[in-house]
Structure formats: C-alpha cells, structure tokens
Chains A and B, each alone.
Chain A
C-alpha cells in the first residue's frame, strides 16, 4: 500500500470554453499544487481546444449544500410563480410587453 500522505491532493477543474461563456465544472485532477493542477487539467481536459481559461480549486475547499436540505433550500421558490413573466395575462393587442 502506498502512503496516503503521498497522494497528491484533488482539485476540481472549471473551464471557460470561449470568451463570453462562464467557467463550467468538467471534472477533477490530482496535483501537488495549484500550478501543476492547471498543467494537468490542460493535458486531460483540453486536448481538443475545449477551453481558453482554466480555474482549479482544492476539492476540500468546496462547501456544498446537502441533498437532504434540498426541500428546505429550494421548495420555497416553488409557489412563487408570479416571479415568471407568464404569470401575467396581457391582451394580445398590447405589443412590446
């Protein structure tokens, strides 16, 4: 068994496909430090010009919501359909609205 101490830490990789688009999560990579993580992410995730910019962040630095809290977090938005434009009926003859 190799020592767990020696395993390079895990980084999450985010890639901007082209300028004008947001960075998107594409996967993860092991590296000794952040700079190496960017180099490895370049090799693993952009072999076919998939990106123009890479972000990496230590996976252990991400705080994620718990799926068990999903109802508490997201259900309150369910009954607020008046936040959508289709909630309001406007006569057809009114234009540009």
Chain B
C-alpha cells in the first residue's frame, strides 16, 4: 500500500532545502525518542527507509528459504500427527514471509524487486538455513533452537519504531511459540526414547548449537549497523545481549533433556549470573554468509526453480483476470 504516495513524497523532498531537511530529521528523531510509531506516509530519512527495506526483506527471505530444510521431512515425518504439525509450521513460515514482504512494500519497494534480489543472490537471508537436515531429529532441533533464537530476536522488534514491521512481528511472535514448543516436544520424545534415538537428538544438538548462536549476528564490536539501528529504535538490544539471553534460557532446557551442549567452555558464572561460553567460529559464519555453506547453492536453486516453474501460473492468472475485466467492460 501507499507505494504511489511515496513516489510523490520522494519528488517533493528534492525541493527541500538543507535546513528544511534538518528540521524534518529533528522532528522524526523526536517522534522516535517519544516512542511514537512511524507510519508509511510519514516523512523519514532515506537511510532509515533503506535500513528497514534491507532488514525486513532479509527477514522475509529467511522465512521463505526457511521452509526448505524442514519441507525436506514432510513426506517422511514419523506419524500423521507429526506430519500435520510440520505442514502447519511450514505454512506458517510461508505466511510470515508474506506478512514481511507486505511490510517492506509499504516502504516503496515492489514485491518483484524483492524476490529478484533473493533469486539473483543480491539479498541475504539467515545463514542458518544453509545447513542440511539429514535426520528427523533436525526438525526437533530447528524448532527448539532456531525458532527459539528467532523468537528471542523478534520479540523486541514488536516494539520497533516502524509501525507495519512492528505489527507484522506481533503476529509472527504469536504464531512462533507453537513452533518452538513442537520442536522441544520432538527433542523430548527422542531424548527419552531408545539409546539410538537419544544419540540422534544429541547429534542434532551438536550440529545446530553453534549455527544457532551465530544467528544473533557478529559480536557488538564488529556489528556495523547496531548503533544507528538502536538510535532509530529498529533494534532494542545488541547482538551479544540477545545471544547471552538465549544461551541462559536454553542451557537449562538441554539439561532437562539430558543432552550435552557441545561447548567445553560453557559454565555458569556466579558473579555475573550468566553462562560463560566458548569462542564462536566467525570464520564459519562469514563463509556461510558468503555462499560457501553446506547448502547455499541448493537452497537458491530450489527457490529459483520454484519461481520459474510457477511463472506460467502467475501469467495465466493475470491473463485470465485481464480477459474477464475486458469482457465486463465491453458488456457494461
């Protein structure tokens, strides 16, 4: 919505003097400082708009690509109940992608452009979805850890300064909590099952732990966008704060499952009342971001194929709608 309105707004802005722009910027920041929300047609600095388009579309792409690793198990889920649950979860991810694309579009970028950026590799999506899902336990670990980390990241965004993004996030968070719980339930079933099932659960935790805590992004010192995003209230907590929170709540859950977190340096610190943990392999993170993770090529290939294979459906639906409109116009 409002796409056309934004174009004219942009043109108007060209006529503004530097002093006028500075005044608008001051008013904008005052609104943000007062915890007021910014809505699509309100004036906003270009950099704020660009930051939001980048973040919201990355988030949308992550939801869409995120359907792939789990979709891998829909036909092989161990029971009808698990299959129904997994389908509902994957449908939710698709829906979340749609909410987020909608929110991004209010900033004046078209859906086609966004999809194009994903398919050409120009846009990023969460590095976590470039890891494979070789066993059923991976579906449990993804729900528990990956969705758990996503929720930790997303809850503060429900109070983001940009209205449409915040509203999309409220819906998403409400729906995500079932995702995490169903994942934990799978882990519980496996961890308390046969020794082989227990080993499967441990193996999944071993493979997903480090990629999950990388999901919070680089350390604060290395995070180039954090300070500005916090000033704009797009972001409310730093990467390291959120990562620490996630580790603090997840370690006791692993203990409950009787599983071992694959970090020999992990230990409770009485003084800080937080867990201390080992060094993250940032080289691995960078490699996956650059496209060299285990499944990067496969994921993009699957998205491109789906987009190409669906093209005739989109074109046919459009042609049919145009034909009907023309007929109705002729009859009137």
A: which residues have CB within 8 A of B?
A: 1-2, 4, 6-8, 10, 12, 27-30, 32-33, 36, 43-45, 47-48, 59-60, 62, 64, 66-67
Contacts of A45 in B (CB 8 A): 95
26 residue pairs A–B, Cβ–Cβ below 8 Å: A1-B112, A2-B115, A6-B314, A6-B318, A10-B1, A27-B167, A27-B168, A28-B1, A29-B98, A30-B111, A32-B320, A33-B317, A43-B91, A44-B95, A44-B98, A44-B99, A47-B88, A47-B91, A47-B95, A59-B1, A59-B2, A59-B3, A60-B4, A62-B1, A67-B39, A67-B42
Nearest A residue to B12 via CB reads A68
Contact A33 B321 (CB under 8 A): yes
Contact B317 A43 (CB under 8 A): no
> Which DSSP category, helix, strand, loop or mixed, fits chain B's interface?
helix
Q: Is B263 an interface residue (CB 8 A)?
A: no
Q: Kindly identify, within residues 86 to 138 of chain B, every residue whose CB is under 8 Å from any CB belonging to chain A.
A: 88, 91-92, 95, 98-99, 102-103, 105, 110-112, 115-116
Top 9 closest pairs, chain A to chain B, by CB: A32-B317, A32-B321, A33-B321, A59-B1, A28-B102, A7-B112, A27-B102, A44-B98, A32-B318
Contacts of B95 in A (CB 8 A): 43-45, 47
Q: Is B41 an interface residue (CB 8 A)?
A: yes
**Chain B interface: which size bin?**
20 to 34
Q: Is B298 an interface residue (CB 8 A)?
A: no
Given contacts A6-B314, A7-B112, 6 further A-B contacts (CB under 8 A): A4-B110, A6-B318, A7-B111, A28-B1, A43-B95, A47-B88
The CA-CA distance from A4 to B114 in the complex, in Å, is 12
Contacts of A67 in B (CB 8 A): 39, 41-43
Contact A64 B321 (CB under 8 A): no
Contact B116 A1 (CB under 8 A): yes
The CA-CA distance from A64 to B42 in the complex, in Å, is 12
Query: From residue A68, how far is it (CB to closest CB) to chain B in Å?
Result: 8
Nearest B residue to A4 via CB reads B112
Contact A47 B318 (CB under 8 A): no
The CA-CA distance from A67 to B116 in the complex, in Å, is 32
Nearest B residue to A63 via CB reads B5
Nearest B residue to A28 via CB reads B102
Q: Is B290 an interface residue (CB 8 A)?
A: no
The CA-CA distance from A8 to B321 in the complex, in Å, is 10
Question: A4-B110, A44-B99 in contact; A10/B116 too (CB < 8 A)?
Answer: no
The CA-CA distance from A7 to B311 in the complex, in Å, is 11
Query: From residue A7, how far is it (CB to closest CB) to chain B in Å?
Result: 5
Contacts of A8 in B (CB 8 A): 314, 317-318
Contacts of B318 in A (CB 8 A): 6, 8, 32
Query: From residue A96, how far is it (CB to closest CB) to chain B in Å?
Result: 40
The CA-CA distance from A8 to B110 in the complex, in Å, is 11
Query: From residue A13, how far is it (CB to closest CB) to chain B in Å?
Result: 9
Contacts of B1 in A (CB 8 A): 10, 12, 28, 59, 62
